[in-house]
Amino acid sequence: MRVALVLALVVTALAVLVITEPASAGEGAVVVVLDGPIDAGAEHLVLRGIEEASSRGWALVLEINTYGGYLVSADRIVEMIKSSGLECATWIPPGGKAVSAGALIALGCGKIYMGKGSVIGAAEPRPADEKVVRYVESRFASLAEEAFGGDEELVQIARSFVTENRVLTYEDAVGVGFAEPAETLQQVLAGVGAGDHVTLRRGAVEDILSVITTPAVSALMINLGFFMILAEIFQTGFQGYAVVGFVLLVLGLYGMYVVPAPLAIIALLVAGAALLAIEVFTPGFGVFGISGAVLTAAAVAWALATQPPETRSGAQIALLVGLSMLGALMGYIVYEAGKIRRLKKLTLSEALVGKRGVAKTPLSESRAGVVHVAKEDWTAYSVEGEIGAGEEVEVVKVDGLILYVRKAKRTKS
């Protein structure tokens, strides 16, 4: 263990000396492909694109081909783009669509390119609550004013996306100056002055976030989490249902945008620590320990994913590596200690019945005497007649601190 600890410290010290190379500079663009629903998964994908573009000093291009999604996600994406300060352009590829939330993101990005056969618009919110409609209309108008320099005709078109569910075709949009023509991505890249580009698409993380934020899935997780906690309450002894239920409850609330990501990460860390502690104190087959380790790793990975790359340093990476190694070492120590704690402790009866010793004084069924068994003296009674001092005895029963013995049978040689 000392060697492992020293190794962890040495690796940490060496990693601190690592110098991270700066991101490549030059004219380029990060292309983010939004070809699915606008939800938490799309938010995370755009965030990745913004982080990548910021670290390289490149422009951001959104390739949009979506029927729309959630207003809250579209709003968050627009806010991220605006706060990043990046040059941004939207491309709706030939035959594609930027409908509803997709149209809002396109306007929030700024410059819009469209290919033949593409459409943009149809952004009336559902359900069409008057208060929400007015907000979305104003949001579209505000973004259009910024994108088109206050051109009143184009601002009114943007408003009509919401109030009239209006849709512009490629010819309509290009004809009135709402968008510029672009049949290929290379034309869009040329428009933003990008000679090089990288493309980001949806991955496993985005797919998982999209599933979690599906209203039916979120509601089911909250329901299931609640009933698993109840099941734990009414069960005899700890079964682990409460921890799983707690995780489902937190993820469900996150999926409904009630719990923010940092709080969800903390909840996963707490649940992971609880499962690891249960593994130490509860006999089992390592299920709690493995689940706790998985939850802890997932929380750390999620936390890293939310940290902008430009804020990561060699020292942070070194510290993370060192802490991970130290954590693994301490986890092993705690696990081994837990195995010792879980070893079954023998009762006095289990430890002494069958043991042999010597009678130090005479004893009988009615008269107590003293016997020496397991390196200690005990008060004892005979269960089979008189036993004289010096005779070998065998324990057949224990009652409290009193032994009941008989003469030991001689073993045949």
Q: How far is CA 257 from the centre of its chain?
A: 15
Residue 179 has pLDDT above 60, yes or no: yes
Please give the Cα distance from 93 to 82 (Å, whole number): 23
What are φ and ψ of residue 181, in 5° steps?
-75, 140
Report which of residues 312 and 348 the model is more confident about.
Answer: 348
- Owner of token pair 């949806």: 202
For 54-78, write each residue's pLDDT tens digit: 999 999 999 999 999 989 899 999 9
Domains and CATH numbers, the chain: 25-208 (3.90.226.10), 218-342 (no CATH), 348-407 (2.40.50.140)
Q: Which of 49-58, 134-143, 154-163, 296-305 has the lowest mean pLDDT?
A: 296-305
367 is written with which tokens?
């008269």
| Dist. CA 141–CA 162, nearest whole Å | 10
Question: What letter would DSSP give residue 4?
Answer: H
Tokens of 33: 């492909």
Give CA–CA dist 104/97, Å, rounded. Answer: 12
Q: What is the mean pLDDT of residues 35-59?
A: 92
**Long-range contacts at 23-26 (CB < 8 A, ≥ 24 apart):** 23/55, 23/56, 23/57, 23/309, 24/56, 25/56, 25/57, 26/56, 26/57, 26/195, 26/196
pLDDT of residue 2: 45
The more confident residue out of 301 and 283 is 301
Q: Give the pLDDT mean for 114-125.
A: 94
Encode burial over 170-186: b for 16+ CB neighbours within 10 A, e otherwise. bebbbeeebbbebeebe
Report the distance separating Cα 26 and Cα 56, nearest Å: 8
For the segment 357-386, the average pLDDT, to the nearest whole number, is 93
Residues 94-114 have pLDDT tens digits of: 999 999 999 999 999 989 999
Quick one: pLDDT at residue 162? 94
Q: Report the pLDDT value the prediction gives residue 18, as an integer from 0 to 100.
A: 36
The rounded distance, in Å, linking the Cα atoms of 113 and 186 is: 12
Residue with tokens 């004013």: 145
What proportion of the chain, given as a percentage, has pLDDT over 70? 75
Contact 320, 303 (CB under 8 A): no
Q: Are strands 111-114 and 88-92 parallel, antiparallel or unpaired?
A: parallel
Strand 97-99: give its sheet, edge to edge: 97-99, 119-121, 167-169
pLDDT band at 22 (very low <50, low <70, confident <90, very high): very low
**CA–CA dist 59, 57 (Å, integer):** 7
pLDDT of residue 326: 59
- Give the residue-averaged pLDDT of 308-317: 54
The tally of CA atoms less than 13 A away on the side-chain side of residue 119 is: 14
Q: What is the mean pLDDT of residues 15-37?
A: 64
Q: What is the reported pLDDT for 1? A: 43
Kindly indicate the confidence band of residue 13, based on its pLDDT and cuts at 50, 70 and 90: very low
Residue with tokens 């320099």: 149
Residue 297 is predicted with a pLDDT of: 74
Residue carrying structure tokens 């569910």: 165
CA dihedral defined by 114, 28, 47, 316, rounded to 10 degrees?
180
Q: For the chain, what is the mean pLDDT?
A: 81
Q: Most confidently modeled of 126-140, 214-228, 279-293, 302-316? A: 126-140
Q: Give the pLDDT score at 207.
A: 85
Q: 261-281 and 314-342 are packed helices; what angle lies between their axes, rounded to 10 degrees?
A: 30
pLDDT band with cut points at 50, 70 and 90 for residue 16: very low
Question: Measuring CA to CA, which residue among 18, 15, 20, 21 is closest to residue 323?
Answer: 15
Distance CA 97, CA 170 (A): 10
Q: What is the pLDDT of residue 331?
A: 59
Contact (Cβ atoms closer than 8 angstroms) between residue 176 and residue 155: no
pLDDT digits (tens, 9 = 90+) for 340-353: 655 566 778 888 99
